[in-house]
Amino acid sequence: MAAMGTLSRVVRLSSCIGRSRRLIFNSTQRRGIASCIDPAHGLSDEQKEFQKMAFDFAAHEMSPHMAEWDEKEIFPVETMRKAAQLGFGGIYVQPEVGGSGLSRLDTSVIFEALSTGCVSTTAYISIHNMCNWMIDTFGNTEQREKFCPELCTMDKFASYCLTEPGSGSDAASLLTTAKLEGDHYILNGSKAFISGGGDTDVYIVMCRTGRKGPKGISCVVVEKDTPGLSFGKKEKKVGWNSQPTRAVILEDCHVPVTNRLGQEGQGFNIAMRGLNGGRINIASCSLGAAHACVQLARDHLLVRKQFGETLSNNQFLQFKLAEMATKLVVSRLLLREAALALQESRSDAVSLCSMAKLFVTDECFNICNQALQMHGGYGYLKDYAVQQFVRDIRVHQILEGTNEVMRMIIARSLLSESG
């Protein structure tokens, strides 16, 4: 089995760096995770193995550098390539092109764990995985063999290019054009808020090859050194600072027809298929942040004293912590159900992905924000990780489809099936 092969590789790598199988299984207890919020509940032994490997990687390779990456706006290329050595560059990409061949649930488990070490970096890895999957799923043999292996190893990085300055939630109104001239498309237009823009190598671009509306949109792969491709200034952001964000500018950009994924007019469908998984991925990143913040809040309450006793003795704060833990577990259950629905191509998959993205990103932001409040003035200092979790996950309520759009999708499903 592909998944089993990947898991065996993960365990072998663990042994090479001196960590035993027993350490992997027992790390939950050593990390001090309360059993009622243990993210390993309900997982198979194999899933627990790579979950703990992801937690371990987050703790040793990401968390010690999270604040520095944020402050200095470092894109941690070498750290991400180390993650790719564990199979995290193409988690749900097929093994024949270098992927790990794991499921959507497996992917969610991994991204939740990695995000406890750095949300911003994990969020970029999730976008990279989505792009890699799009090529693997909709590309032909030549395209898959050309792009996927180097994306899986993260020797090359990918960016997803749908949003434009004038088309955010109304993605089907995009204006970037692709006119066919011989065996090339000539692309003109611009894309906004592109994660990795200017620093990545492969750009999955949605462009208009036909009439107005979603059926006139196609999907092409634009490589970094293509003439006519340029980038805007690096954006200054509230969070997500370990990944650069720039506009992608296309001016008479010549792209071979052989770089088109799927058929002309299929691009919007490809984009939405990618986003269904992207919504699970980004919600998983929020979940990891919330998990970390519940533990940070608990630990703070146990040591911080006011009025002669620790805050853990304050019933109001006890109740708040209980609510945070409950919302964390409920978010995880909904998210994993949505991941299963997507993996199984169930009829309720799109609605469940939208529900999960809406509920999890909203509630996990509230959890992190409450954790900051529990820290008092200390929570507002950059010496404390809780503030970075708050800043990094705020944008999850906006990207991959705003949470207002998620409500539209859910309502549309409910009303269309009411008869």
Residues with catalytic function: 400
Q: Which two tokens stand for residue 376?
A: 């008092």
β-strand 260-261 against 305-306: which pairing, if any? unpaired
- Dihedrals φ, ψ of 316, to 5°? -60, -45
What letters, b where the CB count within 10 A reaches 16 and e where it falls short, cover 125-157? bbbbbbbbbbbbbbbeeebbebbbbbbbebebb
Measure CA of the first residue to CA of the last residue in the chain; give whole Å.
43
Query: Distance between CA 25 and CA 387 in Å, rounded?
Result: 30
Q: Are 24 and 52 in contact (CB under 8 A)?
A: yes
Q: Are 230 and 208 in contact (CB under 8 A)?
A: no
Q: How far is CA 379 from CA 58, 66, 82, in A?
A: 22, 16, 31
Query: Distance between CA 7 and CA 100 in Å, rounded?
Result: 9
Q: Which two tokens stand for residue 400?
A: 């991959």
Q: Are 107 and 93 in contact (CB under 8 A)?
A: no
**Residue located via tokens 């823009």:** 197
- Dihedrals φ, ψ of 260, to 5°? -80, 130
Query: Distance between CA 111 and CA 336 in Å, rounded?
Result: 12
What letters, b where the CB count within 10 A reaches 16 and e where it falls short, cover 255-271? beeebbbbebbbbbbbb
- Classify residue 201 by its DSSP letter: S
What letters, b where the CB count within 10 A reaches 16 and e where it falls short, cover 53-65? bbbbbbeebbeeb
Q: Which two tokens stand for residue 194?
A: 């592109």
β-strand 202-208 against 158-161: which pairing, if any? parallel
